[in-house]
């Protein structure tokens, strides 16, 4: 089972790789990191019983919540736990990243 810190680290790493600035400049605004950590913690704590496989991590949460072409829904075989994780991730809604003042990356 993935622990909360590992889950959160994977979530932030996936945000960088999947939706971060194309130039690779990941200078996260403090409030962005706080939002990432709060969302990852809330999702993890609400769904911990279904996150039983170590390969289910923050990557899946970021990809699913933001409607990418993979995520919890794309794992095989589909189980009730994966269906619940998929629905829970989508309920968090989509996040958009943008570069704001001082070149920091923010979320809206």
Nearby residues of 64 by Cβ (< 8 Å), 6 or more positions away: 71, 72, 73, 85, 86, 89, 90
Q: What is the pLDDT of residues 46-78, one digit of tens each?
A: 999 999 888 889 999 999 999 998 999 998 888
**Confidence at residue 43, expressed as pLDDT on a 0 to 100 scale:** 98
The neighbouring-strand residues paired with 72 are none
């Amino acid at each position: 089972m993935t622990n909360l810190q590992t889950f959160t680290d994977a979530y932030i790493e996936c945000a960088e790789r999947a939706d971060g600035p194309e130039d690779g400049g990941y200078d996260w605004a403090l409030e962005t990191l706080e939002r990432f950590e709060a969302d990852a913690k809330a999702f993890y704590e609400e769904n911990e019983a279904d996150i039983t496989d170590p390969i289910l991590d923050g990557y899946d949460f970021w990809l699913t919540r933001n409607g990418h072409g993979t995520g919890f829904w794309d794992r095989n075989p589909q189980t009730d736990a994966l269906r619940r994780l998929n629905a829970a991730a989508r309920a968090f809604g989509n996040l958009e990243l943008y570069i704001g003042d001082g070149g920091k990356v923010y979320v809206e």
